[in-house]
Amino acid sequence: MLFAIPGGLLFAFDSQGDPFKELERRAKASASQTRDKSGIHLRLEELGRSTERDYQDFRIRQFGFCAASAAIVMVLLLISNHSLFTALLLASLITTFLLVIVDRELTAQVKKRRQIIEAEFPAVIEMLTLAIAAGESPMSAMLRIADSADGELSKEFATVINAVRTGEPLHTSLDAMGRRVKSVMIRRFIDAIVTATLRGTPLIETLSRHAIEARANQRNIVMNAAGKAEISMMIPVVFLILPISILFALWPSLTNLNFFAS
């Protein structure tokens, strides 16, 4: 079965051409014709992989893991004298499980990147406020942050700078950044900057207010994480350490009572 898949590709496509190029061409055609109902395009775009090639690489990785695992499971079950129905059933279950696991892994990467961006946001907005207060324009301040900082939010600023250099307006590229990063704080920050830029209002007051709100929000996130960690630490204390302490305290008395009773 492992060697039948590439052999079937050689017979299914034109033998005079490259079967893998033909497979890629058909995959592109089917991807353009079908809708992405699982939102993989949106999640890959949030990770900075917005090209069709990135989507195809993800699908090839996903289906490759599923097909290889299903083939290995079927071969092992058939070698161990199991029925064909059992092999097909377990292979289907393994395929479905791996499909869900790879999709959940992509979602976890998106959530982790969003948390990193929100953690970097207070420091970056303070740098942006200082740069604009020193007399720089918003464009040059974002360029300075993209060149000097090292993080996910600075990469988003670099994407905005590249879009502006290609001829796109600053407020349009910032709005695209706000729609790409699914974060409430980033969306409010982008809306405030776009509104202040279009109306000509001072940016320093707006940025200072958002910096204070970002610090307060980050403090609340840290406090919530500390509360959850405190609850998690109570579990081994209540169910492990406390029963052992009670047992050590009561064991001599129970031993003496048993001795006198006997």
pLDDT tens, residue by residue, 75-132: 888 888 777 788 888 888 888 888 888 888 888 888 888 888 888 888 888 888 888 8
Half-sphere exposure of 153 (CA within 13 A, CB side): 26
Q: Please state which of the ranges 7-21, 43-57, 156-170, 234-248 shows the lowest mean pLDDT.
A: 7-21
Q: Where in the chain is the domain with CATH 1.20.81?
A: 115-219
**Predicted confidence (pLDDT) at residue 230 exceeds the cutoff of 80:** no
Kindly state the average pLDDT of the residues 205-227. 81
Rg of the chain (C-alpha set) = 29
> Domain 115-219 belongs to what topology?
Receptor-associated Protein (1.20.81)
Kindly state the average pLDDT of the residues 25-46. 61
Yes or no: say if 157 and 146 are a contact pair by the CB < 8 Å rule: yes
Q: How far apart are CA 234 and CA 245, in angstroms?
A: 15
Q: Looking at this protein, which amino acid is placed at residue 238?
A: V
Yes or no: say if 126 and 87 are a contact pair by the CB < 8 Å rule: no
Overall pTM surpassing 0.75 (yes/no): no
Name the one residue in this structure whose structure tokens are 């006198």. 260
